[in-house]
Amino acid sequence: MYEESDSGNRHLPYGRDIDIIKTLSRVMNFSIIFMEPPKGERWGECTPNGSLTGMLGMVHRGEADMGATNLFMSITRVRHVDYTKPYDSELSCVLIQNEQPLPSWQGLAFPYQPWMWFSILVTLLVIGPVMYYLARASAKLGNEIKKFDSLSYCCYYVFGMHLNEPQDKIPRRIHTQVFIAFLWLYTMLITISYSTNLTAFLTVKKSPSGIETIAELPLSGMHVVGVDSYYQIMLESSPDPNLQAMANTYQIYDSQELYGKVLSGEAVYINNRGNMEYTILTKFTQRGSSPLRIMKECFASHPVAMALQDHSPLKKRIDQIISRLLYTGLVRKFFTEALRKAAASKEFLEDESDWQAVEFYPSQTNDGSGGKLVPMSLDHMQGLFFVATLGLSISVVVFAIEKLKV
Partner residues linked to 250 by β-bridges: 224
pLDDT, tens only, 164-210: 777 777 777 777 778 778 888 888 888 887 777 777 676 666 666 67
Nearest residue to 210 (alpha-carbon basis) of 101, 328, 327, 289: 101
Q: Topology of 2-90+302-344 in CATH?
A: D-Maltodextrin-Binding Protein; domain 2 (3.40.190)
Please write the tens of the pLDDT for every residue from 267-288: 899 888 888 887 887 778 776 6
In sign, the C-alpha dihedral spanning 333, 14, 292, 94 is negative
> Given its phi and psi angles, is residue 29 left (phi above 0), alpha (psi -120 to 50 degrees) or beta?
left
Q: Which residues of the chain are under the pLDDT cut of 50?
A: 348-371
- pLDDT of 8: 62
Burial class of residue 354, CB neighbours in 10 A (0-12, 13-18, 19+): exposed
Q: How much is the pLDDT for 323? A: 94
Q: Are 53 and 43 in contact (CB under 8 A)?
A: no
Q: Which helix (H) or strand (E) holds 252?
A: strand 250-252
Tell me what pLDDT residue 350 has: 44
> What are the CB-based long-range contacts (under 8 Å, 24+) for 340-349?
341/1, 341/3, 341/14, 342/1, 342/278, 342/281, 342/282, 343/281, 343/282, 343/285, 345/3, 345/282, 347/2, 347/3, 347/4, 347/10, 348/1, 348/282, 348/283, 349/1, 349/2, 349/10, 349/11
* pLDDT recorded at residue 19: 93
Side chain identity at residue 55, one-letter code: M
Architecture of the domain defined by 111-203: Orthogonal Bundle (1.10)
pLDDT at 202: 67
Q: Is the torsion defined by CA of 296, 299, 301, 307 positive or negative? A: negative
Domain segments of the chain: what residues?
A: 2-90+302-344, 111-203, 377-406
Q: Taking the CB of residue 237, how many other CB atoms lie within 10 A of it?
A: 10
Nearest-angstrom CA–CA distance, 181 and 185: 7
Query: Which pLDDT score, from 0 to 100, does residue 231 have?
Result: 84
Q: For 351-393, give the DSSP string.
A: TTB---GGGGS-GGG--S-TTS-----HHHHHHHHHHHHHHHH
